[in-house]
Amino acid sequence: MENNSVSLHRVLKVSPEKVFRAFSNPTAYASWIPPYGFLATIHEMDFKIGGYYKMSFTNFTTGNGHSFGGKFLDIKPNKFIKLTDKFDDPNFPGEMTTTIWFEKVSCGTDLKILQENIPSVIPAEMCYLGWQESLEKLMKLVEPEIPDA
């Protein structure tokens, strides 16, 4: 967690295609990306290289929230996503970069995430904790195999 960055790693028991879809589909993304106790609203998401997104997290208990957005710098379907994040609140200055790698492995997907340049007012350990919660929600979204009825 040096230089106010966090690095996470998980192995998920599903294909990279399904995990990638959870990042690229706005409805799916909103369901798992906010940490516990928060709701996400995707205001816009143009998931392509050079495309922009805008979203907000709202604290379910207090109703307070924050909005942020960014640009998709690079996308390789089912393999790689690189994007920027910038908070609308000037008290959270700077632009973060998040890089996500999806690698097919024998039991599913090796997922690696690196988020860099987190604003110094956000303790890296709190950001890491939030990501851990989000990834738990991601696993609960993508790992169940539910047959069509």
> What's the CATH number where 65 sits?
3.30.530.20
Q: Is residue 72 part of a domain?
A: yes
**What is residue 136's predicted lDDT score, i.e. its pLDDT?**
97
User: What is the domain count for the chain?
Assistant: 1
Residue (of 18, 16, 22) closest to 47 by Cα position: 22
What residues of the chain score a pLDDT lower than 70? 1-3
What is the rounded distance in angstroms from the CA atom of residue 63 to the CA atom of residue 108?
37
**What is residue 79's predicted lDDT score, i.e. its pLDDT?**
98
Q: Is residue 147 part of a domain?
A: no
Q: Is residue 103 part of a domain?
A: yes
Domain that holds residue 56: 2-142
Q: Is residue 149 part of a domain?
A: no
pTM exceeds cut of 0.85: yes
Take residue 25 and report the two structure tokens written for it: 């589909």
